[in-house]
């Protein structure tokens, strides 16, 4: 099946081409990504970690309190928070008191600072990464950050405007249904690299960004 056939299925499911276009994500250019302050990246990293396995609306409602407690997510300041201060933050009822995730916030602040030394900013690090190897970025984030495996890394990137596909159940089911893959495991780097190859081919065929191809596949199910 070619991509236009899949696109037509998604249009039919959405109700019209106009409705579909409204629902498609709009990735940012590398130049625009480079303008994002690193504290906003750390904030989104932390938000996605706290959202994982929790009700998103509750996390988002409390997020202004997180911003206050974590010094507006200034990476260097958060990286140097003491154990005592983190334990104090973990007793605050205005946020979600998950100490493991609170510790991850400090660890990821250190991760952001490390990339600042290497790339001048964390935003440069993300912006410069080639989309045709985005799976490699997921695994590097998992390896070098804290609690950034699974869907967390891709969700962070998508939320910040970096072009990435999401290996959701609907997307993988669509790839299977249309004969692109036979079996798949989201924990397998080899399988995800195969999915990357498929997305790269679909991007070349459709001239659409990965994130929009991903959404179209999901909506076609």
pLDDT in tens, 32-71: 999 999 999 999 999 999 999 999 999 999 999 999 999 9
175-183 CB contacts, 8 Å cutoff, 24+ apart: 175/217, 177/221, 178/1, 178/6, 179/1
Which tens digits make up the pLDDT trace of 154-207? Answer: 999 999 999 999 999 999 999 999 999 987 777 788 999 999 999 999 999 999
184 located within any domain: no
Mean pLDDT along residues 128-139: 98
- Residue 78: CATH number of its domain: 1.10.340.30
pLDDT per residue over 75-117, tens digit each? 999 999 999 999 999 999 999 999 999 999 999 999 999 999 9
pLDDT at residue 1 greater than cutoff 90:
no
pTM for the predicted model, two decimal places: 0.95
Tell me if 209 is assigned to some domain.
Answer: no
Q: Which structural domain, as residue segments, surrounds residue 98?
A: 31-134
- Report how many domains make up the chain: 1
Q: What is the pLDDT of residue 65?
A: 98
**Does 83 fall in a domain?**
yes
Contact of 179 with 3, CB cutoff 8 Å: no
Q: What is the mean pLDDT of the chain?
A: 96
| Residue 79 belongs to some domain of the structure | yes
Contacts 24+ apart (CB under 8 A), 47-51: 47/159, 48/152, 48/155, 48/156, 48/159, 49/101, 49/104, 49/105, 49/108, 49/147, 49/148, 49/152, 50/96, 50/98, 50/101, 51/155
- pLDDT for 4 equals 95
Establish how many alpha carbons lie within 13 A of residue 50's alpha carbon, considering only the half-sphere containing its beta carbon: 25
In a domain, residue 2? The reply is no
129 found inside a domain: yes
Q: Residue 93: CB partners within 8 Å, gap ≥ 6?
A: none
Asked if residue 45 belongs to a domain, the reply is yes
Q: Is residue 198 part of a domain?
A: no
**pLDDT tier for residue 133 given thresholds of 50, 70 and 90:** very high
Instruction: Specify the pLDDT at position 135.
Output: 97
């Amino acid at each position: 099946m070619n991509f236009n056939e899949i696109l037509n299925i998604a249009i039919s499911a959405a109700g019209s081409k106009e409705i579909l276009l409204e629902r498609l994500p709009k990735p940012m250019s590398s130049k625009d990504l480079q303008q994002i302050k690193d504290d906003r990246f750390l904030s989104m990293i932390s938000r996605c970690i706290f959202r994982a396995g929790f009700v998103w609306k509750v996390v988002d409602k409390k997020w202004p309190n997180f911003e206050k407690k974590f010094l507006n997510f200034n990476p260097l300041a958060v990286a140097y928070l003491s154990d005592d201060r983190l334990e104090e933050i973990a007793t605050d009822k205005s946020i979600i008191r998950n100490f493991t995730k609170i510790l991850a916030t400090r660890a990821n602040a250190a991760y952001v600072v490390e990339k600042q030394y290497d790339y001048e900013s964390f935003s440069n690090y993300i912006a410069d990464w080639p989309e045709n190897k985005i799976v490699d970025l997921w695994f590097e984030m998992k390896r070098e950050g804290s609690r950034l495996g699974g869907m967390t890394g891709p969700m962070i990137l998508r939320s910040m405007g970096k072009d990435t596909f999401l290996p959701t159940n609907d997307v993988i089911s669509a790839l299977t249904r249309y004969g692109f893959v036979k079996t798949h495991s989201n924990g397998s780097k080899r399988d995800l690299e195969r999915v990357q190859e498929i997305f790269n081919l679909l991007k070349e065929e459709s001239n659409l960004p990965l994130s929009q191809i991903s959404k179209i596949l999901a909506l076609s199910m």
